[in-house]
Structure 1
Amino acid sequence: MFIQLLTLPIIFFLTIPLFFFILNKNSKSQKSDVLPKRYPIIGSYFAVKSNLSNRVQWITQILQNCPSATYTLHLVFGYRWILTANPDNVHHILKTNFNNYPKGYFFISVFFDFLGNGIFNADGESWKFERQLSSHEFNTKSLRKFVETVVDTELHDRLVPVLSDAASDETVLDLQDVLQRFAFDNVCKIAFGHDPACLLPCLPQTQFADAFEEATQLSSGRFRDPLSAPWRIKRFFNIGSERKLKMAIAQVRDFAKKIVREKKQELADKSSLKSVDLLSRFLSSGHSDENFVTDIVISFILAGRDTTSAALTWFFWLIYEHPEVEKEILKEIKEKSDTPVYEEVKDMVYVHASLCESMRLYPPVPTDGKLAVEDAVLPDGTEVKRGNMVTYAPYAMGRMEKIWGTDWAEFKPERWLERDEAGKWSFVGRDPYTYPVFNAGPRICLGKEMAFLQMKRLVAGVLRRFKLVPAVEQGFQPVFVAHLTAKMKGGFPIRVEEREEFD
């Protein structure tokens, strides 16, 4: 009798989700509304689950159909997830009420195994300390010069030869993979002073890069799951994806700590600091705790590895689709060809505008979530309860007619430019709460200038010598997928053509 009484509630709770699943499945035969259906107890769980693969596009469609570009999604057991593409709300979250919206326990716990207490996985006093320390190092002229040297070396010694060989051999390259290798080499040199040599002519697989990629993908898989119980159970029993993640993280952190120890010894043997990579700077400033500097540097590698490569992947697709834009870019590159490196990238306003426009449509980080510490009310009147997840969506914001006008779907670098009386272009930016591609407020990206330098140097160095032609069937449309950062699904196959003349 006791077993029967115990079994009845279990059957009841198992039957409820099944009932609503059938109801949801049957409703698909009818014309569904844009806004997700909501049921008792489970909220819009099935809608969330069925849109995991196109989560960003689904969120965008919802927000485009909300008057204030904000929507409260109801999940299991009354949990509320607030989504917004409203610039006033973004300003409230990232600036005026910054302390009420930290990353929060959920985000930190998801990525703690991988990132530890690194700056991108920290809140409160820990974050403030790391931000202050990092900000000081990022603002030095010597680091900027070091970045210029690293980027130019990787460009001329590795990327250009790889593209030249592909042009000569008429082989197809995955541009997304090539750009990721370029970015990974760069960021490891800048962060660690270590060269993983991913972008060699043979395009080798390297243990550190492979482990880092697997750790990133599996960690982001945790975050995408609407329920955390499955991955927590797998982690407890060390099975499946969690076993793979544990092994990948161990490889990354062991390798990183090995570099930290070697760098400590190198600095101890020197009478003065000559290395200008970030790790050397952190260690030389007196912060020698192995775990502390490892966490910080791994976070910087994560931030710098996929963001620039993602932005450039979509940029090259868009300029191929818009030859008139490519023509303007080539004209500007030719005008700046005899200019010193830093002056060249600083003065490339049309390239800068084209990159901004590309990232408007395809931001490297399409969504960013916070956790409300206390009850609040957003500027548009949306109520926020303590413990609610609050997510702003740069991908959706780039597709808002209220922000960008009726031509928001068009790729138009000119929307970022204006001509003076002499007909010369000048760049006209948007405030970071309307265009939060590099975050905004106290957490605005420290590496923004570094990212633009890297991207503009690569664009100039590549396009002055090569034309990149997608190796795809006519009518092909790439698919935007979001992990921790954006990807082009299946990669970006291209053929490389040498430019016979630079016009």
Structure 2
Amino acid sequence: MEMITSLSSLFFALPFIALLSIFFLRRNHPPSNPPALSILRGYPVVGNLPSFVRNHRRMVEWTSELLLASPTGTVSVAPLVLTADPAAVEHVAKSSFHNYPKIPSFVSAFHDFLGTGILNSDGEPWRVQRRTAELEFGTRPLRSSVLEIVNSEIACHLFPLLQFKDRKQELFDFQNVLGRFAFDVICRVVFGEDVRVLGEEKSELFYRAFDGAAAVSIDRSKQHFSALWKLKEWLDGASAKQLRESVRILHESIDRLLQLRKAKSNGFLSRFVDDETLSAAHVRDVLINFVIAGRDTVPTALTWFFWVLSSRPDVVEKIHDEIRSVRSSNANDDDEEGSGDKAFGLDELREMNYLHAAITETLRLHPPVPLTPRVSAVEDELPDGTPVGKGWMVIYNAHAMGRSERVWGPDCREFRPERWLDGAGGGRFRPASPFKYTAFHAGPRMCLGKEVAYVQMKAVAASVIEGFDVEVAEERGRFVLGMTMKMEGGLPVRVRERNPTAKIV
């Protein structure tokens, strides 16, 4: 999740239709797995195509239904294998990692946008970037630096905006606000500059360019024949123009930010930026990938978090109790009552086990990246005996795993933060295997920014919950799948400040 998450699963596991186009253009050689195949009804000549067409607008939900109905948690329809089995995830993501690279057609479709950055690379280019980034991520200095930036953005921009909305009693899209907030944070982390798209919107073109490039790249990935895109480029079609213009804006904006950075102290990405062996284009690709990783998943997760809380006042009250307890235990002589007018520190956030569990439970049920696709380099076999042919696609479905009784027990569909805590009455957070809880991926591509992401999510969640009552004003809950699993139509809310005299410092 993410701050900088490796998302190396091509975390934009795109609307499934991209995979289907490839699937139906290949000869169908059914594997010897009748129990899984029996879930899909086949027809003469067209096979299972009608089922896919009928469900093309709800691929995540539909494939989840198939997997949850499967006795093994795996469905195989050659040359496609879907799974929600933790053993299969461990096999693909770790045990046989080198046999399951990214899908080449997706890498090609995103090349203009992401270039050779960590999200869009495999093999040695990926390993080099991974090793370099590992030297920085997960360290306390980086977490402290990120938290300082997050707290500054909360105090200077997010809270003033929420206070304004409270005074005006305005309805606003919290998903949009959280997205802009996350963009400001990641740009300060990466470039050391406050681009201010929350409130002032002074870098609106830069912000929108990411959306434009992503949208066209997603559509491009759905076209099985690369010649179709070449034709659009040759004809200078609207989508080709949009991608070209969006990428131009991204490159020019990043070049300007890098020039500003040279006059300042080194940032945490200096290992990339100051490496004279790397071309300017490659450095730019690296930075775009880090920004996109920090821009989408954190606000998506927080949107679903606040949506869930809107129907769970009991969870909100438990978070309030925990915040009051942490404030009280960390109060000093100058702040005897542990008032909420000070930003949270790393140690305070670490003590918030219930909040950590509530965020984690949100990610279990609403993973920002629900589908992770891979392609098999050679013939293989999953732990349950499912055959995988050379060139077949294997996709694990995190959305289905979170709703699987086989994985999480009979209360799997309940939002219950306590499942993550030691002891019936609460206690310390107890993590689960990354192969059953895949929000941060697993194996060699385990998310580098997991801890940083939690710092950001907990700081925002704790600050907002302590400072405001958030009321979801319209029924929501459906999602739209793009770079991440965002809430369809946004999250319209009203806020009410709980302590108008307090000021975060």
TM-score scaled by length of structure 1: 0.85
Separation of aligned partners in 1, 2:238 and 2:118: 29
Identity %: 38
Give SS of 1:308's match: helix
1:399 aligns with 2:403: yes
Instruction: From 408, 431, 440, give the equivalent of 1:438.
Output: 440
Separation of aligned partners in 2, 1:156 and 1:501: 14
Per mean C-alpha deviation after superposition, the further-off stretch among 291-300 and 488-497 is 291-300
Instruction: From 256, 261, 266, give the equivalent of 2:263.
Output: 266
Separation of aligned partners in 1, 2:427 and 2:223: 46
Separation of aligned partners in 1, 2:220 and 2:193: 29
Separation of aligned partners in 2, 1:495 and 1:478: 17
TM-score scaled by length of structure 2: 0.84
Separation of aligned partners in 1, 2:82 and 2:440: 19
User: Is contact 1:53–1:481 with CA below 8 Å preserved after alignment?
Assistant: no
Give SS of 1:165's match: helix
Partner of 2:194: 195
Letter of the structure 2 residue corresponding to residue 253 of structure 1: H
Instruction: From 231, 234, 245, give the equivalent of 2:232.
Output: 234
Instruction: From 462, 465, 482, give the equivalent of 2:464.
Output: 462
Structure number with larger C-alpha Rg: 1
Task: Quote how far apart the aligned CAs of 1:215 are.
Answer: 1.2
Partner of 2:207: 209
User: Is contact 2:378–2:390 with CA below 8 Å preserved after alignment?
Assistant: yes
Q: Structure 1 pair 499/491, CA: closer, same or farther in 2 (3 Å)? A: same
Partner of 1:54: 58
User: Is contact 1:192–1:277 with CA below 8 Å preserved after alignment?
Assistant: no
Q: Structure 1 pair 203/324, CA: closer, same or farther in 2 (3 Å)? A: farther
Q: Which has the higher helix share?
A: 1
1:275 aligns with 2:275: no
Deviation digits for residues 372-403 of structure 1 (CA, Å, limit 9, x no counterpart): 11100011111111111111111111011111
Give SS of 2:447's match: coil
Task: Quote how far apart the aligned CAs of 1:139 are.
Answer: 3.9
1:66-465 to structure 2, matched below 5 A, reads 66-74=70-78, 80-200=79-199, 206-224=204-222, 230-231=228-229, 233-263=231-261, 265-266=262-263, 274-278=265-269, 280-337=270-327, 339=330, 341-419=345-423, 425-465=427-467
Separation of aligned partners in 2, 1:442 and 1:240: 39
Task: Quote how far apart the aligned CAs of 1:248 are.
Answer: 1.2
Q: Structure 1 pair 175/204, CA: closer, same or farther in 2 (3 Å)? A: farther
Give SS of 1:426's match: coil
User: Is contact 2:216–2:243 with CA below 8 Å preserved after alignment?
Assistant: yes
Letter of the structure 1 residue corresponding to residue 135 of structure 2: H
Per mean C-alpha deviation after superposition, the further-off stretch among 111-120 and 340-349 is 340-349
Per mean C-alpha deviation after superposition, the further-off stretch among 442-451 and 103-112 is 103-112
Give SS of 2:80's match: strand
User: Is contact 1:142–1:276 with CA below 8 Å preserved after alignment?
Assistant: no
Deviation digits for residues 48-94 of structure 1 (CA, Å, limit 9, x no counterpart): 344332211111011111111111235xxxxx121111100000000
Q: Structure 1 pair 295/66, CA: closer, same or farther in 2 (3 Å)? A: same
Separation of aligned partners in 2, 1:262 and 1:217: 29
1:44 aligns with 2:42: no
Task: Quote how far apart the aligned CAs of 1:236 are.
Answer: 4.4
Separation of aligned partners in 1, 2:500 and 2:398: 39
User: Is contact 2:171–2:493 with CA below 8 Å preserved after alignment?
Assistant: yes
User: Is contact 1:102–1:371 with CA below 8 Å preserved after alignment?
Assistant: yes
Q: Structure 1 pair 345/372, CA: closer, same or farther in 2 (3 Å)? A: same
Letter of the structure 1 residue corresponding to residue 83 of structure 2: T
Separation of aligned partners in 2, 1:185 and 1:225: 33
Separation of aligned partners in 2, 1:49 and 1:254: 41
Separation of aligned partners in 2, 1:96 and 1:482: 29
Separation of aligned partners in 1, 2:165 and 2:316: 21
Separation of aligned partners in 2, 1:34 and 1:242: 42
Letter of the structure 2 residue corresponding to residue 192 of structure 1: F
Q: Structure 1 pair 433/228, CA: closer, same or farther in 2 (3 Å)? A: farther
User: Is contact 2:187–2:195 with CA below 8 Å preserved after alignment?
Assistant: yes
Per mean C-alpha deviation after superposition, the further-off stretch among 346-355 and 254-263 is 254-263
Separation of aligned partners in 2, 1:236 and 1:253: 22
Q: Structure 1 pair 234/49, CA: closer, same or farther in 2 (3 Å)? A: farther
Separation of aligned partners in 2, 1:55 and 1:34: 19
Separation of aligned partners in 2, 1:40 and 1:112: 38
Letter of the structure 1 residue corresponding to residue 195 of structure 2: P
Separation of aligned partners in 2, 1:162 and 1:448: 28
Deviation digits for residues 335-369 of structure 1 (CA, Å, limit 9, x no counterpart): 12264600011111000000010011100111111
Partner of 2:17: none
User: Is contact 2:476–2:491 with CA below 8 Å preserved after alignment?
Assistant: no
Separation of aligned partners in 2, 1:235 and 1:71: 38
Gapped regions of structure 1 (runs ≥ 5): 1-16, 21-32, 75-79, 268-273
Q: Structure 1 pair 227/434, CA: closer, same or farther in 2 (3 Å)? A: farther
Task: Quote how far apart the aligned CAs of 1:226 are.
Answer: 6.8
Task: Quote how far apart the aligned CAs of 1:104 are.
Answer: 3.2
User: Is contact 1:369–1:392 with CA below 8 Å preserved after alignment?
Assistant: yes
Separation of aligned partners in 2, 1:290 and 1:327: 50
Separation of aligned partners in 1, 2:351 and 2:363: 19
Separation of aligned partners in 2, 1:371 and 1:232: 24
Deviation digits for residues 27-56 of structure 1 (CA, Å, limit 9, x no counterpart): xxxxxx994444566543443344332211
Task: Quote how far apart the aligned CAs of 1:225 are.
Answer: 5.7
Separation of aligned partners in 2, 1:95 and 1:131: 16
Letter of the structure 2 residue corresponding to residue 82 of structure 1: V
Separation of aligned partners in 1, 2:178 and 2:222: 25
Separation of aligned partners in 1, 2:58 and 2:227: 22
Task: Quote how far apart the aligned CAs of 1:437 are.
Answer: 0.6
Partner of 2:487: 488
Letter of the structure 1 residue corresponding to residue 442 of structure 2: A
Separation of aligned partners in 1, 2:124 and 2:292: 22
Give SS of 2:77's match: strand
Q: Structure 1 pair 388/426, CA: closer, same or farther in 2 (3 Å)? A: same
Letter of the structure 2 residue corresponding to residue 496 of structure 1: V
Letter of the structure 2 residue corresponding to residue 399 of structure 1: R
Separation of aligned partners in 1, 2:464 and 2:117: 34
Deviation digits for residues 237-259 of structure 1 (CA, Å, limit 9, x no counterpart): 33132331222122212322333
Give SS of 1:468's match: strand
Separation of aligned partners in 1, 2:120 and 2:46: 30
Separation of aligned partners in 2, 1:219 and 1:115: 10
